[in-house]
Structure formats: structure tokens, C-alpha cells
């Protein structure tokens, strides 16, 4: 775990892949812009001929296998890419590259390293990017799997107490899959997915009533609050709202309201509220039907790679 840092910039030209320590842009034109001081990407090879490496005419990487993965070529520290707004990675800290999934685009970014004390904690997941700072292993697994904290079990001790910074972006690929692979290869853990029966709470819209989860106005900034007295959110997707409730209740919360987009909501809690009291407050104040029950759910266990 000493000196853990992962930083990869993946440029797909034919099937050539370039990995850089500082995360600058690499490859040919991207979105019509010249990369500045970036090294020239290898030209696409004629059909039937292997891609050439940086020297000696050697092949520049294996062809993708059935798993859709292309291993990167050896890192060349002498090739300094153009500046990038993300923080640079000191050359001596790079310990491992990662086989990120192939993406049909000129540029994809992947960064995973320990956070510094100066970084402000953050977590944001979109269909095209995962951005995190000061994040625990459990938080990164949530981002990689899309599962709530109640569906994740951390059994590995390799990253206990560690905080991480992650930057994964892609225009056409899956940043969550990239993060999943990076976690497994860099931290030497396995993410094991399994189905188990567990307690859940299902949220449904009441017939003839409009739920008290108003659509957020345009430009509303995201905010959340979780305390002994109130649970609330602004500009929050339903998936994150159910995750907040699930964390408070200690069970998975399933959204079957049919509501989409970003929502504003708030639930005031009675003093010393137990699970039943929280459920009653949610049902009454959000005008929702709350149904406790048992369902078969997907869970993810995070174990050390050497564990059997």
C-alpha cells in the first residue's frame, strides 16, 4: 500500500494505448483541438499488420480479448505530456497501471491515489465520470457498483482508514467499470457480487396523492442534511435519497415511486426516533406508501485478493 498511485491517460488510435504519469492529454486531435506539447500518437496501422511500439518495431500492445480489455504498453517516463488541470503524479509514486476497458474515443482519463490532507472531500457520479476526493474504500465501491452502503460489506483490511482521490472520465465508455477494475488491480482486492435475501423498505406513490418531493428548479445546487432531527436533500436524484434513508434505517430502500429527475425534500424526525418512527415520518411527510419486506438483493463483498 506504500506510495499507492494510479494515473492513466488512455488514447485509442486503432488499438494503441498510451499511459502517462502526469495525466496530460496524449494522442491526436481531440474535439478539434491540438494537444500542444503532447507527444505524437502512433499512426493507425494498415489492416492485418500489428501496431508498432515506441521503439524497435515491436508490437504496441495485445489485441483486445474476449473481456474487451487492452493492456497498456510499458510506461516511458521521458515522454512528458501537456499540462492537465488535474494534479500531477510524482514519478516515483507510480506503482501500477490498470487495464481500463477499451473505449472508442480519443481520450479517457483514470486516476486513483491516496488523498492529501489539503483536498476537500467530494463525491460525484455521472454517466460519463466519477470524481472523488477524501473518499473511503466503501464510498468508492458504492460509486463503482451503484449499490447503497447497506448492500456493501468491506472484509478487506488493506485500505482500512485510507482516503482516496479518484478521477475517471470517458465520453463513450463506463467510468464505473473503469473504477471497479482500478480498485481490484491497484488495491489487490476482489469485489464479489452475490444475491442474498435481506430486509428492504419499498417506497411507492400513494394512489390519488402527489408525493412531497418537488422537482428541483433549474439551477438549484445540490445539498443534503442528515442529523438526529432532520433528513433533507436539494437537487437530489431519487437514488441518492433512498441511499440516505437506507443508511439511517440500516436496510436497503427501494424506490418504486416512478419519480425521475432531481428532487427537493425534507423529513423532520421526532426525538430519539427508532426505525419505525422514521418510517412513519417518511410516509406522512413525504406522502409515500412505505412497505417493509424481504427481497433477494445483490450484495458486494470486498475481500483481499489472496482470500479464498
If asked whether residues 132 and 17 sit together in one domain, one would say yes
Strand pairing category for 189-205 and 252-256: parallel
Q: Give mean pLDDT, residues 289-305.
A: 89
Provide the sign of the torsion angle of the four alpha carbons 290, 294, 296, 298, taken in this order. positive
**163 vs 120: CA distance, rounded Å:** 11
Q: Left, alpha or beta for 196 (phi > 0: left; psi -120 to 50: alpha)?
A: beta
Separation CA 108–CA 173 (nearest Å): 9
Do 228 and 110 belong together in one domain? Answer: no
The verdict on residue 306 lying in a domain is no
Q: Give the domain-ending residue among 187, 218, 248.
A: 187
Q: How many CB atoms lie within 10 A of CB 78?
A: 6
pLDDT in tens, 113-155: 999 988 999 999 888 899 999 999 999 999 999 887 778 889 9
- Expressed as residue numbers, the domain containing 234 is 197-298
For 172, the 3-state DSSP assignment is coil
In our burial notation (b when 16+ CB lie closer than 10 A, e otherwise), range 169-189 reads: bbeebbbbbbbbbbbbbbbeb
The per-residue pLDDT of the chain, averaged, comes to 73
At residue 61, the 3 state secondary structure works out as coil
Q: Evaluate whether residue 157 is within a structural domain.
A: yes
What one-character DSSP code corresponds to residue 257?
S
- Per-residue pLDDT of 218-242, as tens digits, reads 999 999 999 999 999 999 999 889 9
For residues 23 and 165, state if they share a domain: yes
For residues 92 and 214, state if they share a domain.
no
- 247 located within any domain: yes
Amino acid at each position: 500500500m506504500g506510495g499507492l498511485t494510479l494515473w492513466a491517460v488512455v488514447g485509442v488510435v486503432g488499438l494503441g494505448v498510451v499511459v502517462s504519469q502526469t495525466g496530460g492529454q496524449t494522442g491526436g486531435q481531440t474535439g478539434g483541438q491540438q494537444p500542444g506539447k503532447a507527444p505524437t500518437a502512433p499512426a493507425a496501422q494498415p489492416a492485418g499488420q500489428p501496431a508498432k511500439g515506441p521503439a524497435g518495431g515491436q508490437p504496441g500492445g495485445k489485441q483486445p480479448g474476449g473481456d474487451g480489455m487492452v493492456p497498456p504498453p510499458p510506461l516511458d517516463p521521458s515522454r512528458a505530456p501537456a499540462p492537465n488541470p488535474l494534479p500531477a503524479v510524482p514519478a516515483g509514486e507510480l506503482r501500477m497501471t490498470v487495464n481500463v476497458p477499451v473505449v472508442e474515443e480519443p481520450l479517457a482519463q483514470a486516476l486513483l491515489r491516496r488523498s492529501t490532507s489539503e483536498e476537500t472531500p467530494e463525491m460525484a457520479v455521472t454517466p460519463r465520470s466519477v470524481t472523488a476526493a477524501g473518499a473511503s474504500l466503501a464510498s468508492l465501491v458504492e460509486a463503482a457498483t451503484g449499490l447503497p452502503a447497506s448492500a456493501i460489506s468491506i472484509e478487506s483490511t488493506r485500505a482500512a482508514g485510507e482516503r482516496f482521490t479518484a478521477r475517471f472520465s470517458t465520453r463513450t465508455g463506463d467510468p464505473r467499470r473503469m473504477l471497479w477494475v482500478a480498485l481490484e488491480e491497484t488495491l489487490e482486492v476482489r469485489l464479489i457480487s452475490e444475491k442474498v435475501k435481506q430486509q428492504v423498505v419499498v417506497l411507492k406513490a400513494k394512489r390519488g396523492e402527489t408525493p412531497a418531493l418537488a422537482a428541483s428548479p433549474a439551477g438549484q445546487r445540490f445539498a443534503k442534511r442528515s442529523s438526529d432531527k432532520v433528513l433533507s436533500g436539494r437537487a437530489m436524484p431519487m437514488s441518492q435519497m433512498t441511499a440516505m434513508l437506507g443508511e439511517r434505517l440500516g436496510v436497503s430502500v427501494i424506490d418504486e415511486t416512478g419519480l425521475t429527475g432531481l428532487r427537493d425534500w425534507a423529513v423532520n424526525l421526532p426525538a430519539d426516533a427508532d426505525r419505525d418512527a422514521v418510517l412513519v415520518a417518511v410516509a406522512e411527510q413525504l406522502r409515500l406508501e412505505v412497505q417493509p419486506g424481504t427481497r433477494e438483493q445483490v450484495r458486494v463483498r470486498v475481500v483481499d485478493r489472496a482470500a479464498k
